[in-house]
């Protein structure tokens, strides 16, 4: 429908056609609705999220790690290309759609995650809520908003890699550490892994000084500057609700007795990788300027 309305397939040509040609606006908007729905499905944003929990839980952890990281960066990239570069002139139309998707994602993701007992399924709903925050950056419709969204999705990928990496370390042949009960007393079995997991959970909850806090703060600042104060307040309230299930993991690791007293002994390579990942979450949160600057530079270059 976008091609039928504009006669173009290249994003820059579509943007030029929308601004210079006489186009049937209704046909263009129908095409836009389908494009936004497709992007929301790829980002696993509500209400197009139903595939994510089942796929995250049903896939091997290594596959889930990949699905929860690289595709989200790619989805962010072509969302920028399609909505901003190609259909930026229709921002007033897709902005309202993204507001609905963002609020629904943050609400459904954070509330439903509380009821989960499978950590992979819980992290799937966590992903849905995080994608709602990413969409907030697009709602601002300016470079600061887009760069904040890019910073957020980068932080999300970093946190997700670490969380699923620890799940892989705790798993063994014939057993995947999927249930929340598998994390009881992890501090007694391997204090270092428990510490890294705590860093990751605090970051996902948006608690300083982790990178997740600055990611949420930068997106909320962009939304407030765009005049959507109510939306920022809604996001903060839903984020506070979501903090419960992240803190629950920390409680299990540090304040519950382990079901198995077998020490967790990861390989040297795995220990190094997960340590670098966990410490990066802390260091990038304390010194976020470099990554934020790179995100802004990338957005400025692409536009």
pLDDT tens sequence across 265-283? 888 888 899 999 999 999 9
Rounded to an integer, what is the distance from CA 203 to the centroid of its chain?
A: 12
With 90 as the cut, is the pLDDT of residue 103 above it? yes
What's the confidence (pLDDT) of residue 272? 93
What's the confidence (pLDDT) of residue 154? 93
Mean pLDDT of 104-128: 94
What's the confidence (pLDDT) of residue 173? 53
With 60 as the cut, is the pLDDT of residue 74 above it? yes
Helix (H) / strand (E) element for 225: namely helix 211-225
Mean pLDDT of 185-214: 93
**Distance from C-alpha of 158 to C-alpha of 174, rounded to nearest angstrom:** 27
Residue 179, helix vs strand vs coil: strand
**Distance from C-alpha of 256 to C-alpha of 156, rounded to nearest angstrom:** 28
Mean pLDDT of 238-249: 93
Q: To the nearest whole number, what is the mean pLDDT of the chain?
A: 91
| 95, 100, 102, 107 alpha-carbon torsion, rounded to 10° | 170
What is the tally of structural domains in the chain?
1
Q: Phi and psi of 118, rounded to 5°?
A: -100, 120
Contact predicate 155/203, CB 8 Å: yes
Contact predicate 45/128, CB 8 Å: yes
Q: Phi and psi of 158, rounded to 5°?
A: -60, -45
With 90 as the cut, is the pLDDT of residue 31 above it? yes
pLDDT confidence tier of residue 110, bands split at 50, 70 and 90:
very high
Q: What is the pTM of this model?
A: 0.93
Mean pLDDT of 35-44: 93
What's the confidence (pLDDT) of residue 280? 92
From first CA to last CA, the distance across the chain in angstroms is 24
Least confident of 87-101, 216-230, 249-263: 249-263
**Distance from C-alpha of 92 to C-alpha of 32, rounded to nearest angstrom:** 12
30 CB-near residues (< 8 Å, 6+ apart): 1
Least confident of 59-63, 71-75, 120-124, 170-174: 170-174
Within 10 angstroms of residue 179's Cβ, the number of other Cβ atoms is: 13
Q: Which domain holds residue 293?
A: 2-302
What's the confidence (pLDDT) of residue 174? 57
Mean pLDDT of 281-291: 91
pLDDT tens sequence across 215-241? 999 999 999 999 999 999 999 999 999
């Amino acid at each position: 429908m976008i091609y039928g309305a504009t006669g173009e397939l290249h994003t820059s040509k579509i943007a030029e056609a929308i601004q210079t040609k006489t186009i049937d606006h209704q046909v263009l908007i129908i095409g836009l609705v389908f494009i936004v729905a497709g992007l929301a499905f790829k980002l696993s944003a509500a209400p197009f999220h139903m595939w994510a929990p089942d796929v995250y839980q049903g896939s091997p952890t290594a596959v889930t790690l990949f699905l929860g990281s690289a595709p989200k960066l790619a989805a962010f990239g072509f969302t920028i290309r399609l909505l901003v570069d190609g259909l930026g002139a229709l921002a007033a139309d897709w902005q309202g759609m993204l507001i609905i998707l963002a609020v629904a994602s943050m609400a459904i993701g954070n509330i439903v995650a509380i009821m989960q007992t499978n950590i992979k399924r819980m992290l799937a709903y966590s992903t849905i809520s995080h994608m709602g925050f990413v969409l907030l950056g697009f709602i601002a419709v300016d470079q600061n908003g887009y760069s904040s969204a890019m910073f957020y999705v980068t932080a999300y990928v970093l946190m997700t890699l670490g969380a699923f990496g620890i799940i892989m370390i705790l798993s063994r042949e014939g057993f995947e550490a999927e249930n929340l009960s598998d994390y009881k007393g992890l501090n007694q079995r391997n204090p270092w892994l428990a510490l890294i997991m705590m860093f990751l959970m605090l970051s996902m909850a948006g608690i300083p000084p982790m990178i997740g806090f600055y990611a949420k703060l930068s997106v909320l600042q962009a939304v407030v500057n765009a005049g959507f104060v109510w939306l920022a307040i809604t996001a903060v309230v839903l984020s506070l609700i979501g903090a419960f299930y992240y803190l629950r993991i920390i409680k299990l690791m540090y304040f519950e007795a382990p079901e198995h007293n077998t020490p967790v002994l990861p390989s040297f390579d795995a220990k190094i990788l997960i340590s670098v990942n966990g410490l990066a979450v802390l260091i990038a949160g304390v010194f976020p300027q470099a990554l934020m600057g790179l995100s802004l530079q990338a957005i400025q270059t692409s536009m």
